[in-house]
Structure 1
Amino acid sequence: MLINSENGVIELKTFNTQLYRRMSLDQLKQTDFYKEKYHNFQDVKTGYFWYYFHPIEITGYQVSFGLCFFGDQLDTIHMNTWENGDAKDWNEWTEEKEMNVFHRNNTFLTRILEILPTQKKKKPYPSCTFNFPWGNVWSVYDPRSASSLMGINFNEEEKTNKK
């Protein structure tokens, strides 16, 4: 299983790598995954930094990762499936093609998580969510950005009440 249903850790066995919330940037940079698949970096000027990776094969799907760090700790994980027929630029893009990506992402998640989605919505935009005690795994088609995406949200730790 790619995503551990007990704790949300992503296990990339081919690269002997685990991705998890609050992983340090130094730890990521020491992994075979980073060394072999790192593609690009973006500083969004808010304290968040995105690291993008070339696709890897997972259960017959080509999957790319975007890892968002806040400071030097992993905060958010985004993923996406990819096929040769997907739009490569705006000239090839259609909503139908993008909805195909959304449905493919949902099928991929159902396969790797080995459960059906907890929640499906059509409004305000198509989404699919798998809930776990530690957070959730989601897939969405966002017409505002004309893109489909998957990701992992982790629950915030309990905060102490300040009086």
Structure 2
Amino acid sequence: MLINSEKGVIELKAFTTELYKGMSLDQLKQSDFYKEKYHTLWDVKTGYYWYYFKSIEIAGYQVSFSICFFGDQLDSIHMNTWEKTDAKDWNDWTEEKEMNVFYRNNSFLTKVLGIPPTQKKKTPYPSCTFKFPWGNIWSVYDPRSASSFMGISFNEEEKTNKK
């Protein structure tokens, strides 16, 4: 299982790593996932730091992770599926191709969670949300950024989600 929907924890069993709200940066850096798949870092200059990782195979999908830390605590997680047919640059990009990514992301989440989405919307842009007591798992196509991605957002009152 990738996402423990009871606790909002991503379980990366191949790397003996769990990602969860409030995880410390030191814990991430000590993980096999970080050691093997870390790609790059973006310092947003506001106290937020995005850590980007090379894709891994999960349930037959290639999935990449972007993990956001505020200071040294995990704040949110973004993910995306990838296939060779996806646009490689702007010359190759079409809205149809990007919507295919959106639909594939939705299929991925439905498969790993084993439940249908709680909510689907077409406006203001296509989105799919799975709601839980601790937060939401979501997928969206954002025409403003011409991209599709999915993620986990934790409720503010949920300070830590440790095992």
Taking the TM superposition and a 5 Å limit, the aligned residue runs for 1:123-138 are 123-138=123-138
* Percent of aligned pairs sharing the same letter: 81
Q: TM-score, normalised by structure 1?
A: 0.96
Q: State the one-letter code of the partner of 1:81.
A: T
Which position in structure 2 is the counterpart of 1:22? 22
Deviations 1:118-147 (A, max 9, x none): 000000000000011111100000000000
Q: Note the residue ranges of structure 1 that are not aligned, 5 or more in a row.
A: none
Aligned-residue Cα RMSD (Å) equals 1.1
Distance 2:5 2:78 in 1: 17
| Contact 2:134/2:158, CA 8 A, preserved across alignment | no
> TM-score, normalized by length of structure 2?
0.96
Structure with higher RCO (Cα < 8 A, 6+ apart):
2
Paired residues in the alignment total 159
- The secondary structure found in structure 2 opposite 1:10 is strand
Amino acid at match of 1:55: S
Structure 1 segments of 4+ aligned residues over 4 angstroms from their partners:
none
Could you say what secondary structure the match of 1:152 adopts? strand
How far 1:70 sits from its partner (Å)?
Answer: 0.2
Shift of 1:156: 1.1
> Residue 42 of structure 1: CA displacement?
0.3
Inter-partner Cα distance in structure 1 for 2:134 and 2:115: 16
Equivalent in the alignment of 1:76: 76
* Aligned-partner SS, 2:41: strand
Q: Could you say which residue in structure 2 is the equivalent of 1:39?
A: 39
Q: Residue type of the partner of 1:16?
A: T
Task: Tell me the amino acid that sits aligned with residue 140 of structure 2.
Answer: V
